[in-house]
Structure 1
Amino acid sequence: MEELVGVAEIREMLGGNLSRQRVHVITSHRDFPAPAQKLKMGHVWLKRDVEEWIKNRK
């Protein structure tokens, strides 16, 4: 089963020092991976896609 992450987990993956609002801005960029699902509670992404995006940004 693929591991999913939301805004809180992405914030931690990015170092934890960003605001939730800033993470929402980052995840809305066109180069950020598309969400795996759009739920009522918010979007979720495949963790491996987010990890790859972070790796390519450094």
Structure 2
Amino acid sequence: MGKLRLVASQEVQEMLGVSRTRAYQITNSKTFPDPVAVLSVGRIWRTEDVERWIKDHRPDLHDPAQ
């Protein structure tokens, strides 16, 4: 089993290359993966889930080399 990789809102914002407000809108959309946890620092997602969402919904941001 691989290492569990997690991201918070700030990392999602950076992965998408959008503002904090836009990242909030995207992460609240019905198509965005559900967070795996909600902590005092905010919502947490599995990196793989976010990367898959970017590949499916924002192919212009998907880098197959990564």
TM-score (norm 2): 0.78
Partner Cα distance (1:49, 1:9) in 2: 13
The amino acid across from 2:56 in the alignment is: N
Structure 1, unmatched stretches of 5+, are none
Structure 2, unmatched stretches of 5+, are 60-66
Partner of 2:15: 13
Partner of 1:53: 53
Q: Which has the larger radius of gyration?
A: 2
Deviation (angstroms), 1:12: 1.2
Partner of 2:40: 40
Higher RCO (C-alpha under 8 Å, 6+ residues apart): 1
Q: Per-residue CA shift, 1:1-58, capped at 9, x if unaligned?
A: 311101111111112xx21111011000011000010111100100000000000012
Partner Cα distance (2:25, 2:40) in 1: 18
TM-score (norm 1): 0.88
Q: CA RMSD in A?
A: 0.9
Aligned length: 56
